[in-house]
Structures are given as C-alpha cells and as structure tokens.
Amino acid sequence: MNPEKILTQHYNPETGDLTGGAKVVRTLKDVRSSFQDQVAVDRILEHENPVLYEVVAVEPGDTPGDLHYGLGILYPGMVGNEYYLTKGHYHETREAAEVYIGLTGEGAMLLEDEETGESRLESLGAGNVVYVPGHTAHRTMNTGNTPLTYFGIYPSNAGHDYGALAERNFRKMLIDEDGTPTLMDRA
Ligand SMILES: [Fe+2]
C-alpha cells in the first residue's frame, strides 16, 4: 500500500461536490441530440442553456484490479415531456460492470442490452443500489423535483464509449404521462 496515496475523499450529496477529481459540466447543448423533441430543445435554447448534470470522477489507480468512481448530480427538469437525462454510454471494455448508489432525489436508470436490444428501467434514488451488468448501455433520468445524486463505481479499465449511442440513441425513452414516468419506444 502506497502511503502517499490519498484514500479518503469528501463529498456533498446536496451539491455534487467531490474532492479528488475535476467536475465535468454538461449543458442542454451538449446533450441536445439525446432528446426526442428538437423543437422543445430549440425553444429552451432561445432563452438559456441550462446545466443538466455534473460529474466528478476519482481515479485512484490504473493497475489491474483498481476501481474508479464518480459522483453525479442530475438536475430536475423536462425537455418537452422527456425528463432531463445523461448522455449515457457503454463501457469501452464491454464486459465491465458498474454499481450505482442513489444518494438523493428520485430517478431511474435505463439499461439496454447490447446483444438483444432489450431495455430495462430500474429505480435510482435515495435508498437504491443498481447493478449494471457488462455489455449494457446505461443512462440516468431525474423524475423528481430535486437534484438526483448518485455514485457510480466501476473497474479502472472500463472506459466510456459514447459513440455508438450518439449515432442511434437508446431505443426507449422515459416521458411524463399525466405525472407518471412512462417508458415509450423512441421514434
Ligand atoms: Fe458507466
């Protein structure tokens, strides 16, 4: 064990702050192609470019067996009738799994199996732990009125692959239907 290595970091679930890493900020412009309703996107961008989410990743080591982890904060909001969401990704190392731990708020994870194309919706919020198997695209949505914060813990060699989803997006989308989060086929 390297005595120089910092093993303890500090986080604030209310603000999404986490020591030991740099914060990455994603605005509506950054993720606009993830939303179905492009007219609604343009309507919002005429006035403002809201921050949708922020992530801080901590990478304590890169040798086999090491883990990385990140704290995400996804703000509440809608684009048309679709909840604010993260871009979503596969892992570059497809077999790499991940554990998500909900800290505050109410939300969900959309999982899509790369082989079968099947989708699953899992609750992610305070009190939920979600295991994301390998070979599975994953995206987070905020279905509540307060920030959704969560930890993700993953193998150091997982990597992020956004390209495949940037081209065709997820097959399903989560929309608000009369106040109820409802999974629909994306057009
Ligand atoms: Fe991931």
* Cα(15) to centroid(ligand 1), Å: 21
* Cα(91) to centroid(ligand 1), Å: 6
Tens digit of each residue's pLDDT, the chain (187 residues): 888 899 999 999 999 999 999 999 999 999 999 999 999 999 999 999 999 999 999 999 999 999 999 999 999 999 999 999 999 999 999 999 999 999 999 999 999 999 999 999 999 999 999 999 999 999 999 999 999 999 999 999 999 999 889 888 999 999 999 999 999 999 8
Does pTM surpass 0.75?
yes
Strands (E), 75-115: 78-79, 82-83, 98-104, 106-113
* Cα(153) to centroid(ligand 1), Å: 8
pLDDT at 2: 86
Cα separations in angstroms, 123 against 43, 171, 178: 30, 18, 19
* Cα(47) to centroid(ligand 1), Å: 32
pLDDT at 4: 87
* Cα(169) to centroid(ligand 1), Å: 16
* Cα(46) to centroid(ligand 1), Å: 32
- 127 burial type by CB count under 10 A (0-12 exposed, 13-18 middle, 19+ buried): exposed
* Cα(154) to centroid(ligand 1), Å: 7
* Mean pLDDT, rounded, of the chain: 97
> If residue 30 lies in a helix (H) or strand (E), which one and from where to where?
helix 28-31
* Cα(178) to centroid(ligand 1), Å: 31
pLDDT at 77: 98
* Cα(43) to centroid(ligand 1), Å: 31
Domain coordinates of the chain in residue numbers? 21-182
d(CA 48, CA 58): 30
d(CA 124, CA 179): 18
pLDDT one-digit tens code per residue, 70-85: 999 999 999 999 999 9
The CATH number assigned to the domain with range 21-182 reads 2.60.120.10
* Cα(151) to centroid(ligand 1), Å: 11
pLDDT at 167: 83
- Report the candidate in 90, 94, 92, 127 with the shortest Cα–Cα distance to residue 111: 90
* Cα(187) to centroid(ligand 1), Å: 25
Both tokens of 73, joined, read 């904060």
* Cα(134) to centroid(ligand 1), Å: 9
pLDDT one-digit tens code per residue, 53-75: 999 999 999 999 999 999 999 99
